[in-house]
Chain A
Amino acid sequence: MKEEIRGGRKRLEDELRALLGNIFVPEAKVFGMVCGCVGFAADLRGLKSDDVEVFREKINAILVDISRSVGVKPEFIYARKLPGSDEVVTLTVRELCARCRREFAGSMAAPRPDIMVLKRQG
């Protein structure tokens, strides 16, 4: 697992750099939440929301691959922006618990204004 997380961080950074130039991924992690959700998250610097819009499919494909490699089902993929700005600071892939499938990912709108939904299953 350690190698997959390390490799995932590197791959995400490399592929985003190939697409967009100087992108920095200082940290990537697999997480488990109290509600039951598990996921893969990467902190980023240098990425903008417009970049994510343009390369949405490619970014999703990379994240789907990485999340599968660490055992996370890519049910809900989203980017978190710095509130009120275009800076994307985290990309997250989440395998949802029943509550979050309904509450966090269940609205037509993004659950919060700082979140860009990139992919939802179903």
Chain B
Amino acid sequence: MRLMIPHPGHFEALKEIIEVKESESLNEVEEVYMGGSPEVMGSGRGVLHAPLLDEIREQTEYAHQHGIKLNIALNSTCTGGSHLSFEGYKLFKWYFDELEKAGVDGIIVAEPYLVELLREYPMKTIVSCLSYVDAPQRARFFEELGADVITVDTNINRHFGLLKGIVDAVNCDVRVIVNEGCLYRCPFRYSHYNLASHLSSLDQPRTPLFAPDFYFDKCINIRLRDPVQIIKSGWIRPEDLKEYESIGISSFKLSGRTKAVNWIINCMRVYSRRSYDGNLLELLDCPQMLRYVFYIDNKKLEGCIEQWKNCNKHCHECGYCDELVGEVMTSLK
């Protein structure tokens, strides 16, 4: 198993993550990733830090001294077409050149054009889950464009047939995100990430938004009214990683680079040790706030993966997850 860990961006956080990894011998942790400069591109998450190149170089050197690879996330899903202008091309070329000089190991991108542009660089091209790779054919397209690693769409985290098909279809590494709790087949997914991409970049809306986090608010409301949606999300329990390894996936990514350092460290421990006794919602990057509302007993979910591995997602005919809610989930007082 190989784990990729989120890094909020400030050097002190990286040092603390690595210190815990080393002192507790969490040898599965091989890579960290952080956001790049919002002046070049936004990203799929909020940006809390805008690292300068010198800082990226310094942090990369530190990570390498400790045997850790450092990747930069530039996974905006919408640039408004600026990347296809001559100015945009020159900007990305310049930034990739500088990141290469800084020793960065990999770049996480969602935009197919940037996947192709990165072919010229020795850095690994890591296709973001925001490229929505959800089928073998789409995986092959991205591999042909130049992907070294494909992070699959979390919507197929429980579609083992598709996951196995992707593993068989490509030669590059296939990675899954383990702790994202987005709504399964969320109707807001594309719009939300496009909005986040603009809000985390310099390409901002021209007039103030009346609802800056409209999609997030909708998402939380849906789950409060219908908690079974939390169960149906594509999260993966630490104990179930072995099921993915059995189909050839050994690369796992933790989500959560906008969260507090100690939360990240706790998730790193739990997934490294593959065991957790507590509220599953404590591990999920999104929707984190629901951990104050519901308790999902992780131990009671033991064995559910067998159902989900073979699930055809005809929820209207099944009812398994609806029944499960009553057994594993309680409302917190």
Which residues of B in the span 81-115 have a Cβ within 8 Å of any Cβ on A? none
Given contacts A34-B289, A34-B292, A112-B8, contact A84 B50 (CB under 8 A): yes
Q: Which residues of A contact B258 (CB under 8 A)?
A: 112
Tell me if B265 is interfacial: C-beta within 8 Å of chain A: yes
**Is A108 within 8 A of B48, CB to CB?**
no
Task: For the complex, give the distance between the alpha carbons of A83 and B51 in Å.
Answer: 10
Main SS at interface, chain B: loop
Tell me if A61 is interfacial: C-beta within 8 Å of chain B: no
A63–chain B nearest beta-carbon distance, Å: 21
Q: Which residues of B contact A55 (CB under 8 A)?
A: none
Q: Which residues of A contact B289 (CB under 8 A)?
A: 34
B76–chain A nearest beta-carbon distance, Å: 15
Task: For the complex, give the distance between the alpha carbons of A34 and B13 in Å.
Answer: 26
Main SS at interface, chain A: loop
**Is A108 within 8 A of B8, CB to CB?**
no
Contact-residue size bin, chain B (C-beta under 8 Å from the other chain): 20 to 34
Q: Which residues of B contact A104 (CB under 8 A)?
A: 260, 262
Which residues of A in the span 21-49 have a Cβ within 8 Å of any Cβ on B? 34-35
A94–chain B nearest beta-carbon distance, Å: 13
Q: A-facing mask of B240-251, CB < 8 A → 1, else 0?
A: 000000000000
Which residues of B in the span 1-31 have a Cβ within 8 Å of any Cβ on A? 8-10, 12-13, 15-16
**Is B10 within 8 A of A110, CB to CB?**
yes
B256–chain A nearest beta-carbon distance, Å: 11
**Is B265 within 8 A of A107, CB to CB?**
yes
Task: For the complex, give the distance between the alpha carbons of A106 and B266 in Å.
Answer: 12
Tell me if B38 is interfacial: C-beta within 8 Å of chain A: yes
Task: For the complex, give the distance between the alpha carbons of A107 and B265 in Å.
Answer: 10
Task: For the complex, give the distance between the alpha carbons of A109 and B47 in Å.
Answer: 18
Which residues of A in the span 70-94 have a Cβ within 8 Å of any Cβ on B? 83-85
A44–chain B nearest beta-carbon distance, Å: 18
Task: For the complex, give the distance between the alpha carbons of A107 and B262 in Å.
Answer: 6
**Is A83 within 8 A of B50, CB to CB?**
yes
Contact-residue size bin, chain A (C-beta under 8 Å from the other chain): 10 to 19
A60–chain B nearest beta-carbon distance, Å: 20
Task: For the complex, give the distance between the alpha carbons of A52 and B63 in Å.
Answer: 30
Q: Which residues of A contact B8 (CB under 8 A)?
A: 112-113
Given contacts A34-B292, A107-B13, contact A113 B262 (CB under 8 A): no
Task: For the complex, give the distance between the alpha carbons of A107 and B263 in Å.
Answer: 10
Report which residue of A84, A104, A114 has the largest number of chain B beta carbons within 10 angstroms of its beta carbon: A84
Q: Which residues of B contact A34 (CB under 8 A)?
A: 289, 292-293
**Is A107 within 8 A of B16, CB to CB?**
yes
Given contacts A34-B292, A113-B49, A114-B48, contact A84 B12 (CB under 8 A): no
**Is A110 within 8 A of B12, CB to CB?**
yes
Q: Which residues of A contact B13 (CB under 8 A)?
A: 107, 109-110, 113
A22–chain B nearest beta-carbon distance, Å: 24
Residue of A nearest to B11 (CB): A109
Task: For the complex, give the distance between the alpha carbons of A106 and B260 in Å.
Answer: 10
**Is B9 within 8 A of A111, CB to CB?**
no
Q: Which residues of A contact B265 (CB under 8 A)?
A: 107
A72–chain B nearest beta-carbon distance, Å: 20
Given contacts A104-B260, A104-B262, contact A109 B10 (CB under 8 A): yes
**Is B10 within 8 A of A113, CB to CB?**
yes
18 pairs, CB–CB < 8 Å, chain A vs chain B: A34-B289, A34-B292, A35-B292, A83-B46, A83-B49, A83-B50, A84-B47, A85-B50, A103-B263, A107-B265, A109-B13, A111-B262, A112-B8, A112-B10, A112-B260, A113-B8, A113-B13, A114-B49
8 smallest CB-CB distances across A and B, nearest first, come from: A84-B50, A109-B12, A113-B49, A111-B260, A113-B10, A107-B261, A34-B292, A114-B48
Residues of A near any B CB (own CB < 8 A): 34-35, 83-85, 102-104, 106-114
Residues of B near any A CB (own CB < 8 A): 8-10, 12-13, 15-16, 38, 46-50, 258-263, 265-266, 289, 292-293
